[in-house]
Amino acid sequence: MMMALREASAFLVLFLSTFLPPPQCAQDPAMVHYIYQRFQVLEQGLAKCTQATRAYIQEFQDFSKNISVMLGRCLAYTSEYKSAVDSLATKVERAQREVDYLEYLRESEVCVESEDKILAEKLLQEAEEEKKIRTLLNASCNNMLMGIKSLKIVKKTMDTDGSWMKDGVSDSPKVYFLIGSRNNTVLEFPNLRAFMEDSTKPAPRKLILTHSWQGTGHVIYKGFLFFHNQGTPNEIIKYNLQKRAVGDRMRLPGGAGRSLVYQHSPSTYIDLAVDEHGLWAIHSGPGIYGHLVLTKIEPGSLGVEYSWDTSCRSQDAEASFLLCGVLYVVYSSSGHGPHRITCVFDPLGTVSEEHLPNLFFPRRQRSHSVIHYNPRDKQLYAWNDGNQIIYKLQTKRKLHVE
């Protein structure tokens, strides 16, 4: 509509500026007639402009009315749509809560099932481990230590540290003499009498090893000398005494040899032992004066059969030995007497400290550099301040043997 008014105004201005004659022509009849005709044209133009304007106004009014109706419908549709959306959101929220609850129930069932499965697997594993241990320790030996009956000093030397022994399973009467905590010379005596008398006839056979030992924790088992190889943290040498050659070697796992196995045995990092069940190794666990670790070794292949972390500490300990699969650890205060067995470890769990009487050794001035059990003659072979000692033992059957 506004556009039409602007067009009419422009037309009038153009007409007036173009067709109006100068004032001096107003007296001319022809000119008057001409002007009259022009005004009629102008009136007709204005009439058309008015008619067009009214049409524009009517069209605008109709358009406005239609827009109002449409806006009203949109508002109604918007309200209905919002209500539907709100209802749908409520339903979705309710469905999500139900899904979350079902998921919680499923996870709870899965967790319970998983925990039951883990528990069952753990029990099965423990049963298999126990079966393996019982199979491993199946020798016909069920004795436990009850007392140290007597003491016999077999020989005395000037050497503070050393080790002496017989073969743990052989019937051979030979005695082996290993002096010092670092050496490579083994003296072989034909029997105990020759060792005690130290006679020159027959002279002991001198065996020069190809490797030196470290510490005093050596053993002889089935004709082989087993010892900790000097200069290595955890290597065990299996030496054939008959052939005078290394038969095999192994490295103990689990950090063996990193610290002293016994506080009062300052040269021994790995202590080997023999009993009715075979060959063992004892060493300290992680840390200073950690708990002792007991390892069963298969002597033929030098493979580790099983390892146990014991409750016995290396602090204040001076030596240990095994008897019928039970570890007995000897302790003393500041490396001097009394020497007592105050910690026991049994892999089968049949022997503990409360089952034992007070187990102590005859008082000696210094701590033992080694105490080893010989399963063939059921005695302890020990070294204390240069004295080579035999301890006789008193045993009885274990209280609970399955």
Are residues 214 and 292 both part of a single domain? yes
Are residues 222 and 356 both part of a single domain? yes
Instruction: For 129-178, write each residue's pLDDT tens digit.
Output: 777 777 777 767 888 999 998 889 999 998 999 999 999 998 899 999 99
Mean pLDDT of the residues in the chain: 84
Whether residue 235 is predicted with pLDDT greater than 80 in this model: the reply is yes
Whether residue 121 is predicted with pLDDT greater than 90 in this model: the reply is no
pLDDT band at residue 119 under the 50/70/90 scheme: confident
Rounded to 10 degrees, the C-alpha dihedral 243/246/252/255 comes to 130
Comparing 17 with 84, the larger pLDDT belongs to 84
- SS3 label, residue 66: helix
Instruction: For 362-378, write each residue's pLDDT tens digit.
Output: 877 788 999 999 999 99
HSE (side-chain half, CA atoms, 13 Å) at 335 = 10
Whether 57 is covered by a domain: the verdict is: yes
Question: Which residues are CB-contacts of 383 (< 8 A; sequence separation ≥ 6)?
Answer: 161, 162, 163, 164, 216, 368, 369, 370, 389
Percent pLDDT > 90 in the chain is 49
pLDDT at 111: 63
Whether 402 is covered by a domain: the verdict is: no
Mean pLDDT is lowest, of 63-67, 312-316, 380-384, for 63-67
Mean pLDDT is lowest, of 18-22, 109-113, 280-284, for 18-22
Contact status, residue 383 vs residue 161, Cβ threshold 8 Å: yes
Are residues 104 and 125 both part of a single domain? yes
Q: Which of 340, 387, 343 is nearest to 147 (CA)?
A: 340
pTM for this model (two decimals): 0.69
Are residues 250 and 121 both part of a single domain? no
pLDDT band at residue 268 under the 50/70/90 scheme: very high
Whether residue 316 is predicted with pLDDT greater than 80 in this model: the reply is yes
- The mean pLDDT of 387-392, rounded to a whole number, is 95
Whether 276 is covered by a domain: the verdict is: yes
- Please identify, among 65, 99, 134, the residue that sits at the C-terminal boundary of a domain: 134
Contacts 24+ apart (CB under 8 A), 223-231: 223/167, 223/170, 224/299, 225/176, 225/186, 226/272, 226/279, 226/299, 227/272, 228/257, 228/268, 228/269, 228/270, 228/272, 230/182
Are residues 229 and 272 both part of a single domain? yes
Euclidean distance between CA atoms 150 and 393, whole angstroms: 8
Are residues 282 and 207 both part of a single domain? yes
- SS3 label, residue 143: strand
Six token digits for residue 42: 């102008």
Are residues 102 and 146 both part of a single domain? no
Mean pLDDT is lowest, of 96-110, 142-156, 270-284, 385-399, for 96-110
CATH of residue 164: 2.120.10
Instruction: For 33-46, write each residue's pLDDT tens digit.
Output: 777 787 788 888 88
pLDDT band at residue 49 under the 50/70/90 scheme: confident
**Residue 146: enclosing H or E segment and its boundaries?**
strand 143-156
Pairing, β 326-333 against β 278-284? unpaired
**Number of structural domains the chain divides into:** 2
Buried b (16+ CB within 10 A) or exposed e, 94-130: eeeeeeeeeeeeeeeeeeeeeeeeeeeeeeeeeeeee
Are residues 327 and 362 both part of a single domain? yes
Whether 252 is covered by a domain: the verdict is: yes
- What range does the domain containing 54 cover? 2-20+28-134
How many CB atoms sit inside 10 A of residue 350's CB? 17
